[in-house]
């Protein structure tokens, strides 16, 4: 199994990667066969044209009676015109089928990548840069698209065309054929050696391009921080470094290819030179006809041309294989959160949740929770408090199985969450995170994300319960106002209320509030807190508390420190004894007083 916390390793050989790539066409087998027949038909038309060169030379140009040349040429010209017309039709059909086959491969790959991203667990995304992930869907797929649309037909056509032309040369004069192709073993050695170097260089290129994407994405997402610290030049130099690495990698790859081109052309020229010398001798001795020699010269030229194209295509294929290596290695990454084959589905949920002697470590090996025991009855409000790094958010992430416990059990209505179907479990839950995530769409679409088939009336009712309806109606287009990427057109409090409306619409039995008001000003906090109280009614709620004043009425407050429960009780019970909670509460009280002054 490939670890999710590492970049996908390159572990495929050429044949394995090629097979995996071509397997994407299994659903297009009819069109693939039709495409191959079309290419074969095109080669046959080419062969017919080159045969007409032989006929024209011997039957027309060599005609002893000059007055008969024009008449002899007419029939051949008609055949040539028909062959060229056939080539035009064939090229159009080949272009259409090539695009159908190639675009299917790309669509299928892109869909598989996206599907796989949806299956991977949270630790994968937390260990990878977004730009690195995007490079699989964009840069690597684009490499394959370029090859599939332009080079793949040459890779298929080349071997069959060369074989056909060699057979024609053999039938005309096997000795001349051997003279022309004697240099081919050298060409094969050059191509194989260069291809290995190209693939290694191409792997480096793909890696550096992913670094460029990662650096660019990170810089854009953090642009406000960059500006606030006036670190534009620092970011420019960071990007310049990865950008220069990508440039150097591309130049290394291009240098290898540039060296190969003249070598291949020199080999072809040497073969043609030998053929011309030996052919001239055979014609002078009357061993072969002039038409055969002319045809063989044309065929050898086309064979060399096809061989050079095939060599360059094979070299380009190494770029494609390097990109495909990265994609298939990514597709082999296995999720750390697996659903059991016999997982069950709850028809109804009361909302009883229990943490039974749990311990938890992240994939890095750092233990963040030890020996936690918490029980929430239906309708209870359980608050997790403690200093930063105490393990509050980590504990809450265990309920929806964003992570699995290292030891112990997390149970919902008496069932270990690992025994439940993931979709069923997560539909029971509503999560309002600290960092509100809205999609680039309308207000209506973002609220409806909680229930995709919700009616307009349901959406508006949820917005009213979240204290969002009033500000929404004052937006330019009301519920049809576009919120911008990540909701940037709205204030923090407005975004949070839409997030709450989304959770209300989902109507979960278990609610997780992850410091939902920590980034809001006092005015917005009051409005959002009122909306949260409506949302919490009748639900089992877990609150990760940043402002302790919001959890005074919690059924139980769990105080965490360094991953362990150090105290627990109601607000009044915890305030009655000196401990971490009272210290935190008193510090917060002083901060509130200083702020009000």
DSSP state of 482: B
Domains, in order of start, for the chain: 14-331 (1.20.1560.10), 349-428+540-597 (3.40.50.300)
Task: Report which secondary-structure segment, H or E, holds 558.
Answer: strand 556-561
Q: Would you state the structure tokens that stand for residue 240, as one six-digit string?
A: 């310049």
Cβ atoms of residues 565 and 557 within 8 Å: no
Longest CA–CA span in the chain (Å) reads 124
Cβ atoms of residues 504 and 466 within 8 Å: yes
> How would you write the pLDDT of the chain (597 residues) with one tens digit per residue?
344 444 444 445 556 777 777 777 778 889 888 988 999 999 899 888 888 877 777 666 655 555 555 666 677 788 888 888 998 899 889 888 888 888 888 888 888 888 888 888 887 877 777 767 777 777 788 778 878 877 788 888 888 888 888 888 788 777 777 766 666 666 666 666 766 676 677 667 767 777 777 677 666 666 655 665 566 777 778 778 888 887 887 787 777 777 776 776 776 667 667 667 777 777 777 777 777 777 777 777 787 778 777 777 877 777 787 788 888 888 888 888 888 899 999 888 898 999 999 999 887 777 889 999 999 999 899 999 888 888 888 899 999 998 899 999 999 999 999 999 988 898 888 888 877 778 888 999 999 988 888 899 999 998 888 888 888 999 889 999 988 777 778 888 888 888 888 888 888 889 888 876 665 666 666 777 777 777 788 889 999 877 777 788 889 999 998 889 999 998 888 888 878 888 887 776 655 544 444
Task: Give the CA angle between residues 38, 42, 43 to the nearest 5°.
Answer: 120
Cβ atoms of residues 299 and 169 within 8 Å: yes
Report the phi/psi class of residue 63: left, alpha or beta, with left for phi > 0 and alpha for psi in -120 to 50: beta
Beta strands in 347-416, from DSSP E residues, in sequence order: 353-361, 367-376, 381-385, 407-412, 415-416
Place of tokens 């060409």: 187
CA dist., res. 550 & res. 561, Å (int): 20
Cβ atoms of residues 119 and 339 within 8 Å: no
Q: Are strands 353-361 and 407-412 parallel, antiparallel or unpaired?
A: antiparallel
């Amino acid at each position: 199994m490939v670890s999710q916390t590492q970049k996908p390793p390159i572990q495929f050989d050429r044949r394995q990667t090629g097979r995996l790539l071509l397997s994407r066409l299994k659903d297009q087998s009819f069109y693939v066969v039709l495409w191959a027949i079309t290419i074969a038909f095109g080669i046959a038309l080419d062969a017919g044209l080159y045969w007409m060169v032989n006929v024209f030379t011997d039957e027309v140009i060599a005609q002893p009676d000059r007055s008969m040349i024009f008449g002899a040429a007419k029939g051949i010209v008609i055949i040539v015109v028909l062959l060229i017309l056939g080539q035009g039709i064939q090229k159009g059909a080949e272009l259409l089928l090539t695009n159908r086959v190639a675009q299917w491969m790309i669509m299928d790959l892109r869909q598989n990548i996206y599907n796989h991203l949806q299956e991977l667990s949270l630790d994968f995304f937390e260990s990878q840069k977004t730009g690195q992930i995007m490079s699989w869907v964009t840069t690597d797929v684009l490499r394959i698209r370029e090859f599939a649309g332009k080079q793949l037909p040459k890779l298929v056509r080349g071997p069959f065309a060369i074989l056909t032309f060699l057979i024609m040369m053999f039938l005309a004069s096997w000795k001349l054929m051997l003279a022309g192709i004697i240099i081919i073993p050298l060409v094969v050695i050059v191509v194989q050696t260069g291809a290995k170097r190209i693939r290694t260089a191409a792997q480096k290129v793909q890696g550096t391009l992913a670094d460029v994407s990662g650096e660019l994405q990170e810089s854009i997402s953090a642009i406000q921080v960059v500006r606030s610290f006036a670190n534009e030049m620092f970011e420019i130099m960071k990007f310049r470094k990865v950008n220069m690495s990508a440039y150097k990698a591309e130049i290394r790859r291009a240098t290898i290819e540039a060296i190969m081109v003249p070598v291949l052309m020199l080999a072809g020229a040497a073969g043609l030179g030998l053929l011309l010398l030996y052919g001239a001798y055979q014609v002078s001795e009357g061993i072969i006809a002039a038409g055969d020699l002319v045809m063989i010269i044309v065929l050898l030229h086309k064979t060399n041309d096809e061989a050079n194209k095939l060599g360059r295509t094979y070299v380009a294929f190494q770029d494609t294989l390097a990109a495909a290596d990265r994609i298939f290695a990514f597709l082999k990454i296995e999720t750390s959160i697996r659903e059991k084959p016999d997982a069950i589905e709850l028809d109804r949920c009361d909302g009883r949740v229990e943490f039974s002697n749990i311990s938890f470590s992240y994939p890095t090996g750092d233990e963040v929770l030890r020996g936690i025991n918490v029980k929430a009855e239906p309708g209870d409000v359980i608050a997790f408090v403690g200093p930063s790094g105490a393990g509050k958010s980590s504990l809450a992430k265990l309920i929806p199985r964003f992570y699995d416990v290292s030891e112990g059990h997390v149970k919902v209505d008496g069932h270990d969450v690992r025994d439940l179907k993931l979709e069923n479990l997560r539909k029971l839950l509503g999560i309002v995170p600290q960092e509100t995530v809205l999609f680039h769409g309308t207000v209506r679409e973002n609220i409806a994300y909680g229930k995709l088939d919700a009616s307009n009336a349901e959406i508006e009712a949820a917005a009213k319960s979240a204290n969002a309806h009033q500000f929404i109606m004052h937006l330019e287009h009301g519920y049809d106002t576009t919120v911008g990427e990540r909701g940037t057109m709205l204030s923090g409090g407005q975004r949070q209320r839409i997030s709450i409306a989304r959770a209300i619409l989902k109507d979960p039995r278990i609610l997780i509030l992850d410091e939902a008001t920590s980034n809001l000003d006092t005015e917005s906090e009051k409005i959002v807190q009122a909306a949260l109280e409506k949302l919490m009614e009748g639900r089992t709620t877990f609150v990760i508390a940043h402002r302790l004043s919001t959890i005074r009425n919690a059924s139980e407050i769990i105080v965490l420190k360094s991953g362990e429960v150090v105290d627990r009780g109601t607000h009044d019970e915890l305030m009655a004894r000196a401990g971490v909670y009272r210290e935190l509460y008193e510090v917060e009280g002083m901060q509130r007083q200083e702020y009000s002054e």
